[in-house]
Amino acid sequence: MKKTILVTGGAGYIGAHTVAELIAQNYDVVIVDNLSVCDETLLLGIELLTKTKPSFYPIDCNDYKSLQNVFKLHNIDAVIHFAAFKAVGESTQKPLVYHYNNVGSLITLLRVMEEFNVKDFIFSSSCTVYGQPDTIPVTEDAPIKKAESPYGATKQICEQIIKDVTSQNVKAISLRYFNPIGAHPSAELGELPIGTPNNLVPFITQTAAGVRQQLTVFGTDYPTRDGSCIRDYIHVVDLAKAHVAALAYLLEQSSSTFLDIFNVGTGEGKTVLEVIEAFERANQITLTYTKGPRRPGDVIQVYADTTYISKKLNWKPEYTLEDALQHAWQWEKKIRKR
């Protein structure tokens, strides 16, 4: 029997890639997305890529009644919850909006799941919960540090809520993503930032496309090998596949309560300048960039210890940094043609 998976935020960047992988692995998918930070472009991409059109409901996860309706219409076996705001800077301006949206929607969703006796839940968390870790590569048992932003705080609070409910008949996995980048190799799916991108790779591809005049490297005086910050950049398709692996593992668990947490990264730290060089090498393009001041709130370096996820879920990334940057560039060129 095919399992039906509810994917909230399924019209967004990571959500849409995960929907495509779920369909490829023979799951039925139901998407809920309020389209507040995206449009229907990636829904169309899913259809073109998978030749499948999942049921889609343009509703807000804070809307209990509408969510109830989705659970009435579909026999949901498990939920993957992506729907959330993720702009670190914006969250400092609008903390209540972030808490209401990210924490509120989690609570609403868990309440509806309880009403319909749906127990399996995968949560989209972030390495931001570690802050600047004392030891790197960072393992899942590293202490949770004071949040650097309201966005980071919402991820920490959500993880705590999930921990609390998993003592009562809920099975959950939190996936702590490092820096998701890239696009589907088919160029049917990719990132569609609204306005000026905050994240590095969309800024790089928009600069290469001439949409932005030049890229600024935020800080070149950090105590790292070339002075710029270090992150762990994970291809979005590998990340999507990690969700499918986590889901299979979760559904296998026969106990009525369950909680596990996995880092999802490559295990390798790359500096901002190394990412720029890799982009130039992978795409034979010269980027215009300047060295600027540090961005407030940035941690100096963080990358994942991936021992646990590779052992438990038998998952490892398949794509290189160059692959991700090539795919991101193919996607950017495609959307510029539209």
Catalytic residues: 151
Which of 58, 67, 8, 7 minimizes the C-alpha distance to 35? 58
What is the residue-wise DSSP string for 207-265? Answer: HHTTSSS-EEEE-S-SSSSSSS-EE-EEEHHHHHHHHHHHHHHHHH--SS-EEEEEEES
Positions that interact with ligand UD1 (CB under 6 A): 86, 88, 126-128, 179, 198-200, 203, 215-218, 229, 231, 272, 295, 298-299, 302
How many residues would you count in the chain? 338
Which of 230, 267, 250 minimizes the C-alpha distance to 312? 250
Determine how β-strand 28-32 pairs with β-strand 230-231.
unpaired
Cα 216 to the center of its chain, rounded Å: 24
Determine how β-strand 78-81 pairs with β-strand 4-8.
parallel
Q: How many CA atoms lie within 13 A of 151 on its CB side?
A: 17
